[in-house]
Amino acid sequence: MRPLLYSLLLLLALLPTAPGQTGGFGSFLPGPPKAVPTLVADTTAIAPATPFHVGIRFKLADGWHLYWRFPGDSGAAPQVQWTLPPGFEAGEIQWPLPHLLKSEGDIFTNVYEGEVLLPVEIRPPATLPKAPFVFKAQLKWYVCSETCLPGEGEVTLTLSPGAPLPDNKELFTLWNSRLPQPTPPPFSADWSRASDGLLVKIEGAPAGQKVEVFPIPPAGATAEHPEMISRTFCIPAPGAATKPLGWKALVVLEEPTGERRGWEVEGSGSDKNPPAIAAKQNNPVPVVTTQQIVPRQQMRPQTGGLGSILWAAFLGGLLLNLMPCVLPVIALKILGFTQQAGEDPKRVFKLGLAFCAGVFAFFSGLAIAVLGLKAAGGGLNWGFQFQNPWILTGLITAVFIFGLNLLGVFEITLGGETSSKLSELASKQGLGGAFLHGAFTTLLGTSCTAPYLGVTLGFAVSQPAPSVFVIFFTIAAGMSLPYLVLTSNPTLLRFLPKPGAWMERLKQIMGFLILGVAVWLLGVLGQGRGMESLSGMCSFLLITGISCWLYGILRSRLMALLLALALLGGGYRVFVFDTISKPLEPKTALSTDEWVPFSPERLANERALGRAVFVDFTADWCLNCKVNERLTLSKQEVKDAFAAHNVLLMKADWTNNDPVITAELNRFGRIGVPFYLLYAPDAPDPLVLPELLTPRIILEALEKLPSR
């Protein structure tokens, strides 16, 4: 097994790096941070009762952007939570003028690119506390390009008492000039209602200057991108009881030279009511935007302390062995234990320890990845290897090679002439293979989250480093326990059949099962990346099969290995690399008679209308999700019950890492699927259903809803 292990590791190291990322097989880890925040001040010292400004400064990578206070059609504005010295107070963020960004699909967002400084006024007390003064800002943000990455981190600034002198003068002068002007605007803004929103008519603006309007909705309302007709801007606000009062807008004038100035204007104009709007006001429908619902921290699960989390982690790891994503690989390990049943019990126990070590090694790497991504301002979700095409194609290749090995296409020969040397090499081979199988089993198992494990993982990624390692090690202990018990007690192995000719047939059956796993993973790749990627990967697997066959028939092990690796590297570059390097086109979710695609706005509107909503967070690569769909959600009795209670069925497809769905999962403390929510009419919070569904669970939950 040792040469095979080295071969796979070398192959994975040779896999090309995804564009814009660093590292080979670890390309799911981000390269340089896409947004780097710092904290700066406009003063060198602090005097009592003398306000000053600090600036939250973001430096953004090329092609990446941050969002304004009202992001537009998507996104979320940066958030800050201050930790200040005693007696100090912080004002609101002052937002510089944004730029309008149009993306594919007519998506308009209000963004900052390159760099932005968000000034905040700090008011010291009349009597200063003991120095030095440490200002801490806990930040959360979304930085986006073709995809969006959530980020969080803490920035600090230390100042001392003394006579204030200007600091960072050029920086603050530049960004203060880009804030909305405090002077009266050189134009008038007349607000009125329209049948589907608001009208803002700009009059008196200097000729030759470009006019832009950025709406600022009041709480509980949203707006789409304004459309301009002869300097009259129509702000669509579907589903809201719109009225000018409470609304604001940022009006920006741009000189032909590119210089921009802006003013905030309030919606206090005329009150003309078309009949349609007047009728809607009798029963206003609040609209909640994505950025308004993401920070809802009260929806985090009540964990009951680290002890309860560790128990849930251990139980979740234990039950992970029963998940349908793990069972085919467990069969391989049982076969291995069967083959060793007639040997020295001490050696069997060592094989069990090596397998458990592989499980612990994988979870250790996962914990390190979580901490690394948190430090870099990125994020990690459970099942990331199935969302990242670079990792997924490597995983498909590894599974396919294992299947061919079990079918006898190639064998691992150890060489050597004396029996003592063969015995020594065989011992090393067994331990290495057991370790690899342990890590490999866990890698496949992370496509599903066992019961009790979803909440545990959501809690773990928000904890400091020691707790993260303790929780992940506890999960590993739960998953490893059955193998440790089986191999530590030789009497249990006696119940297994004795070795014989049947083992070769069982080995071949296991080979076909493993190839079935490869076919399933190919389906995941095709669903996420399209038919071109699927076709290219199938061609590459043909090259992989030829490489393994050559490795099996050539006598020179070194020559066979080099030739196989050369074919694999060339085949991957020709058939796979280009197809998965292309930017992923947005996956269009098609509505059916039963299910509609998940949308936070649609969810909020339906709830405001008093309708029950069921949300299915799923993915094509999640076997637990597919089991629940086949055995529960597709049952006619369940469908009839949904219809009887007029429940809207929403599907949150997380096959590819959708940032909106990720944010919604994180809001409930989850980092994986399956996950199910049932919103009852007029209930403030949804009912969280188990990860493993039965028709009885669904029917009992629906019985508590009012009949429609």
Q: What would the pLDDT profile of 208-260 be if each residue is shown by its tens digit?
A: 889 999 998 887 677 777 887 777 888 887 544 445 567 889 999 998 888 99
Is 181 among the domain residues? no
> Are 57 and 153 members of one domain?
yes
Q: How far is CA 368 from the centre of its chain?
A: 17
> Are 257 and 308 members of one domain?
no
376, HSE (Cβ side, Cα atoms, 13 Å): 17
Say which range, 218-222, 321-325, 620-624, 635-639, has the weakest mean pLDDT: 321-325
Instruction: Look up residue 297 and give its DSSP letter.
Output: G
- Check residue 304 and give its pLDDT: 44
> Are 279 and 378 members of one domain?
no
Tokens of 33: 């941070």
- Check residue 417 and give its pLDDT: 43
As for how many domains the chain has, the answer is 4
Is 571 among the domain residues? yes
- Check residue 373 and give its pLDDT: 55
Say which range, 33-37, 61-65, 238-242, has the weakest mean pLDDT: 238-242
Phi, psi values for residue 240, rounded to 5°? -110, 150
Torsion, CA 500, CA 504, CA 506, CA 509, rounded to 10: -170
> Are 624 and 637 members of one domain?
yes
d(CA 518, CA 534): 12
Instruction: For residue 65, give the CATH number of its domain.
Output: 2.60.40.1250
* Greater pLDDT, 703 or 520: 703
Is residue 55's pLDDT more than 90? yes
- Check residue 531 and give its pLDDT: 81
Query: Is residue 628 classed exposed, middle or buried when 0-12, 13-18 and 19+ CB atoms within 10 A define those classes?
Result: buried
C-beta of residue 136 within 8 angstroms of C-beta of residue 85: no
d(CA 187, CA 692): 61
- Check residue 330 and give its pLDDT: 56
Instruction: Look at residues 23, 15, 31 and name the one whose alpha carbon lies nearest to residue 64.
Output: 31
- Check residue 469 and give its pLDDT: 81
* Greater pLDDT, 703 or 451: 703
- Check residue 708 and give its pLDDT: 54
Torsion, CA 623, CA 606, CA 244, CA 91, rounded to 10: -50
Mean pLDDT of 286-290: 35
> Are 536 and 628 members of one domain?
no
Is residue 362's pLDDT more than 70? yes
Instruction: Look at residues 170, 182, 183, 166 and name the one whose alpha carbon lies nearest to residue 53.
Output: 166
Instruction: For residue 253, give the CATH number of its domain.
Output: 2.60.40
Share of the chain above pLDDT 70, in %: 69
Mean pLDDT of 22-46: 69
Say which range, 23-32, 107-116, 342-351, 603-612, has the weakest mean pLDDT: 23-32
- Check residue 223 and give its pLDDT: 79
- Check residue 520 and give its pLDDT: 76
- Check residue 320 and give its pLDDT: 67
**Residue 229, C-beta contacts closer than 8 angstroms, at least 6 positions apart:** none
> Are 288 and 304 members of one domain?
no
d(CA 625, CA 443): 18
Burial 172-194 (b: 16+ CB within 10 A, else e): beebeebbbeeeebebebebbbb
Is 369 among the domain residues? yes
Mean pLDDT of 322-349: 59
Say which range, 13-17, 236-240, 409-413, 700-704, has the weakest mean pLDDT: 13-17
Instruction: Look at residues 303, 287, 274 and name the one whose alpha carbon lies nearest to residue 195.
Output: 274
> Are 423 and 528 members of one domain?
yes
- Check residue 127 and give its pLDDT: 92
Is 588 among the domain residues? no
- Check residue 361 and give its pLDDT: 86
Say which range, 494-508, 511-525, 589-603, 669-683, has the weakest mean pLDDT: 494-508
**Residue 368, C-beta contacts closer than 8 angstroms, at least 6 positions apart:** none
Is residue 11's pLDDT more than 60? no
C-beta of residue 341 within 8 angstroms of C-beta of residue 499: yes
Share of the chain above pLDDT 90, in %: 22
- Check residue 664 and give its pLDDT: 84
pLDDT tens figures, 633-666: 989 999 999 988 989 999 998 877 677 888 788 7
Is residue 415's pLDDT more than 50? no
d(CA 153, CA 371): 12
Domain end (from 260, 293, 326)? 293
Q: Which long-range contacts (CB under 8 A, 24 or more apart) does 103-107 make?
A: 104/586, 105/586, 107/72, 107/73, 107/74
Helix (H, G, I), strand (E, B) or coil at 706: coil
d(CA 384, CA 85): 40
Alpha helices in 446-501 (DSSP H): 453-460, 465-488, 490-493
Is residue 1's pLDDT more than 70? no
pLDDT tens figures, 89-134: 999 999 999 999 887 656 788 999 999 999 999 999 999 998 889 9
> Are 434 and 314 members of one domain?
yes
Alpha helices in 613-658 (DSSP H): 623-628, 636-644
Mean pLDDT of 324-339: 54
Is 103 among the domain residues? yes
> Are 281 and 308 members of one domain?
no
Is 708 among the domain residues? no
Amino acid at position 179, single letter: L
Q: How confident is the model at residue 286 (pLDDT cuts 50, 70, 90)?
A: very low
pLDDT tens figures, 141-173: 888 886 677 788 899 999 999 999 999 999 999
- Check residue 507 and give its pLDDT: 67
- Check residue 308 and give its pLDDT: 63
Supply angle C-alpha 262, 140, 74, rounded to 5. 60
Tokens of 486: 């089986």
Domain that holds residue 43: 35-176
d(CA 462, CA 615): 24
d(CA 213, CA 211): 7
Q: How confident is the model at residue 389 (pLDDT cuts 50, 70, 90)?
A: confident
- Check residue 338 and give its pLDDT: 56
Phi, psi values for residue 620, rounded to 5°? -65, -25
Q: How confident is the model at residue 20 (pLDDT cuts 50, 70, 90)?
A: very low
DSSP of 645-659, one letter per residue? TTPEEEEEE-SS--H
CA distances in angstroms from 183 to 12, 187, 190, 202, 216, listed in the order given: 61, 12, 18, 17, 19
Helix (H, G, I), strand (E, B) or coil at 312: helix
Phi, psi values for residue 502, rounded to 5°? -60, -25
C-beta of residue 157 within 8 angstroms of C-beta of residue 139: no
- Check residue 402 and give its pLDDT: 75
Instruction: For residue 692, give the CATH number of its domain.
Output: 3.40.30.10
* Greater pLDDT, 228 or 182: 182
Residues in the chain: 708
* Greater pLDDT, 600 or 340: 600
Average pLDDT of the residues of the chain: 74
Is 589 among the domain residues? no
d(CA 671, CA 438): 23
**Residue 692, C-beta contacts closer than 8 angstroms, at least 6 positions apart:** 451, 624, 628
d(CA 226, CA 198): 9
Q: Do strands 79-83 and 133-144 pair parallel, antiparallel, or not at all (unpaired)?
A: antiparallel
> Are 607 and 468 members of one domain?
no
* Greater pLDDT, 12 or 210: 210
Domain end (from 248, 266, 293)? 293
Is 481 among the domain residues? yes
Q: How confident is the model at residue 136 (pLDDT cuts 50, 70, 90)?
A: very high
Instruction: Look at residues 206, 411, 434, 195 and name the one whose alpha carbon lies nearest to residue 333.
Output: 434
> Are 640 and 568 members of one domain?
no
Amino acid at position 218, single letter: P
Say which range, 201-205, 300-304, 563-567, 637-641, has the weakest mean pLDDT: 300-304
Whether the full predicted model's pTM is greater than 0.75, yes or no, is no
Is residue 426's pLDDT more than 70? no
Helix-helix angle 389-406:2-14, to 10 degrees? 150
Amino acid at position 462, single letter: S
Mean pLDDT of 429-453: 61
d(CA 559, CA 556): 5
Cis peptide before 32 (omega within 30 of 0): no
> Are 15 and 105 members of one domain?
no
Domain end (from 526, 556, 581)? 581
